Structure 1
Amino acid sequence: MRRRDVLAGAGSVASIATLNCPAPALAQGVRELRMVTDWPERLLGLQASAVRLARAIGIASGGRIRIEVFPAGTLVRAFESLDAVGAGIADMYHSAEYYFEKKSSAFSFFAAVPFGFTADELFAWVHYGGGQELWDALSGRFNVRPLLCCNTGAQMGGWFNQEITSLEALRGIRYRMPGLGGEVLRRLGAIVVNLPGGEIVPSLESGAIDASEWIGPWEDMALGLHKVVRFYYYPGFHEPGTGIALGINEQVWQSFGADDRQLIESVAAGEYARSVAEFNANNALWLRKLRDEGSVKILPFDESVLRASLQASNDVIAEAGAGDELSRKIYESYRQFRASIMDWSDVAERAFLNSRRLA
């Protein structure tokens, strides 16, 4: 997308002259930055995390760095955040990298891939398994420096207007799902679409779509999904721990001194941990509320659906990493780290969680 195309879609009343300024505004030593997000304005969890991150950077910098947060549709349209930041229209974004899969399918490895990393495993790969360097190389092509800054934890499989008792039930349904998970469902016969979060409920109400995943009970009920659909499935094999990125314009990033770059990295890492805890705590609470209300059937996917999804996922993920040389390096790094971390997770967390149920 060209710079003027993004500008044409901007919803802000700011002047073109202001938007064309690639450098952060400076006022008496204070750096004023613009963060765009791909989330609705009042969305709990994700949008709130973006605002909290911006405030935390401001506090940690002693007020020297001020970040104004623009939700989707205010400065730029949803899903245009990468283009906007790369072009200098905004200084940073808060988004899920799989929204940029048309630029490169390898972006999905740094958000979520089906049957891939949990929140802890993704953080481990990016920070201690070589993922960050590969991500820097990928995003650098678009003039962006990326950092993990949030994670939703394990997600749910989605909301459906009918029961999904077999693979046959998936064929022909219009299913909102982004990223590589969407491609998996497409290969299983679903008609896959991608919509911003704010458009999901109206689309379900109108019949434009038959099913949709979002995140988990907390965020899903905040959107009102439980009021329009009655079947809620798990597990969310497509997004076992969805990472959210803070993407910073490369020139803005390089203009910071080493201390401020470390400050931003540390605050982003802290918000990552806090967001996982927040999602887990609230999902547990709202799952109980949803069960108590009794108006929604909370059901596991049939094993045949999961087996077919896993088989299709292996092909989809391999194809996503089969592009150029960098994509192949990212896929190979992901594949090797996943094999290693799965062994440890099985011996450690899975074994413990199973034993906790013995009583």
Structure 2
Amino acid sequence: MKRRDFFKASGAAAAGVAAAGFATPAIAQGVQQWKMVTAWPKNLPGPGVAAQMLADRITALSGGKLEVTLYAAGELVPGRGVFDAVSEGTAELYHAVPAYWGSKSKGILLFGSQPFGLRADEQVGWLTHGGGQALYDEMYGRFNLKPFLCGNSGPQWAGWFRDEIKSVEDLKGLRFRTTGLASEMCAKLGMAVQAMGGRDMFQAMQSGALDAGEFIGPWTDSALGFYQIAQNYYWPGVGEPSSAEECAVNKEAFDALEPSLQQAVEAACKSLYNDVWTEYTTKHALALEQLVAEKGVQVKMLPEDVIVAMGNAAGEVMTELREDSDALVKQIVESFLAYRASISNYMVYADNGQMNARALDYKY
């Protein structure tokens, strides 16, 4: 898909989207018609594709009793307006990432990604088996939402840089696009952090308003064309070792569903997590090969002292979160840190051991 195909304007963002109360969904012969709003351009490789998969899967698993129509960013509400639109009842559900909602509560950010935090499998493990889902529900319940994880990008990249990064000093004053807790980590290193969508990042880098930025990974990034502006593609993306995608449903609408339809929505989200994650991983690998072979992209590892400095900055961010005045935020942070510590100790023997063994020099 060419970048311009999903850069096309999809209609002016609706003004005054806030609704006084939840709008009763259209019902015809037992069929409820639900609106899904998303933070993405339609069919953007990665999240835009995943959003459509989710809409289709909810419709299918409900036996057609819930017909979900997807509205891309700007078609019904702006991409960054989907949280409020669903909270207020303008639409029944949204597809986005928790990293966009830090202005609501910093506790929300941990459900999506954490600097030097959880991988995709560990993230869903925390929610499913480590007590995270109850905290996720409690936090989003404050905003009249019922949340579910429904996908993950896997490890994100450190980003696209015009100039080579040789030391921590090279980061100071760098105008850089990122989101979530990674923004706070980068700011502590003297970076001038800006949050924006993928196409806005392209335009800002093209105009010179940004020096560098990260979005997702090779599959999505190549579709957005960042390689046309910056050729230095850095890893590892320690700011987001994974990035969970979420579906949040208006809680009043969800509670009004019969139990079988509630189960259909939940099953659609949970069943999509691995499908989305493995598609990202597979297509990231293929896209990276093409970026290097066909686009001249230079893949570079961040210097070790830069990674260590980022780790120290991330530690400061977590310390501050542990001291948050909101008791629920503190609970979320402590739950995350406890799970991270436990799973990190085990992974030394499990996945880390396997990957280290696979990297040894032998004939295979």
Given the two structures, how large is their TM-score scaled by the length of structure 1?
A: 0.94
Match of 1:348 in 2: 350
- TM-score, length-scaled by structure 2: 0.93
| Counterpart code for 2:259 | A
* Counterpart residue type for residue 117 of structure 1: L
Equivalence for 1:228: 229
2:130 touches 2:339 (CA, 8 Å); kept in 1? yes
Q: Is the Cα–Cα contact under 8 Å of residues 19 and 90 in structure 1 kept in the other structure?
A: no
Counterpart Cα distance in 1 of 2:212 and 2:317: 21
Deviations 1:60-82 (A, max 9, x none): 11111111111111111121111
Q: Tell me, yes or no, if the aligned pair for 1:39 and 1:46 is still in contact at 8 Å.
A: yes
Which residue does 2:69 correspond to in 1? Answer: 68
Alignment check: 8 A CA contact 2:22 2:88 kept: no
* Aligned-partner SS, 1:33: strand
Separation of aligned partners in 2, 1:308 and 1:17: 42
Separation (CA, whole Å) in 2 of partners of 1:340 and 1:273: 23
How far apart, CA to CA, are the structure 1 residues paired with 2:20 and 2:72?
A: 16
Paired AA for residue 343 in structure 1? N
Counterpart contact for 2:18–2:90, Cα < 8 Å: no
Aligned residues of 2:17 and 2:77 also touching (Cα < 8 A) = no
Q: Within 2, Cα distance between the matches of 1:158 and 1:201? A: 12
Displaced runs of 4+ in structure 1, greater than 4 A?
Answer: 15-21
- Deviation string 1:237-274 (CA, Å, 9 cap, x unpaired) is 01111001100001011011222112211111111110
Distance 1:22 1:218, change over 3 A: same
What residue identity is the alignment partner of 1:234? Answer: W
Q: Is the 8 A contact 2:17 2:90 kept in 1?
A: no
Distance in 2 (alpha carbons) for counterparts of 1:38 and 1:286: 23
Amino acid at match of 1:291: V
CA distance in 2, matches of 1:300, 1:18: 48
- Output aligned runs, 1:274-353, within 5 Å: 274-293=275-294, 295-323=296-324, 324-353=326-355
The Cα offsets for residues 97-127 of structure 1, whole Å up to 9 and x where unpaired, read as 1211011011111000100000000000001
Seen in structure 2, the aligned counterparts of structure 1 residues 128 and 177 have a Cα distance that, compared at 3 Å, is: same
Query: 2-side partners of 1:16 and 1:75: how far apart?
Result: 8
Q: Is the 8 A contact 2:232 2:299 kept in 1?
A: yes
* Aligned residue-pair number: 350
Superposed CA RMSD in Å reads: 1.8
> Could you tell me how far apart the structure 2 residues matched to 1:18 and 1:140 are?
18
**Cα 1:92–1:19, aligned 2, differ >3 Å: closer, same or farther?**
farther
Q: Secondary structure at the match of 2:134?
A: helix
Deviation (angstroms), 1:322 = 2.8
| Structure 1 unmatched ranges of 5 or more | 1-8
What stretches of structure 2 of length at least 5 have no aligned partner? 1-10
Deviates more, 1:120-129 or 1:35-44: 35-44
SS of equivalent to 1:332? helix
**In structure 1, how many angstroms separate the alpha carbons of the residues matched to 2:285 and 2:296?**
18
Residue 166 of structure 1 corresponds to 167
**Residue 21 of structure 1, CA deviation:** 5.0
Q: Percent identity?
A: 37
Query: 1:260-271 counterparts in 2 under 5 A?
Result: 260-271=261-272
- Return the offset for 1:321: 3.9
Q: Secondary structure at the match of 2:350?
A: helix
Q: 1:294 to 1:91 in 2, by over 3 A?
A: closer
Q: Call closer, same or farther: CA 1:280–1:137 in 2, change over 3 Å.
A: same
* d(CA) in 2 for partners of 1:190, 1:40: 28
Task: Output the CA distance in 1 between the equivalents of 2:56 and 2:340.
Answer: 34
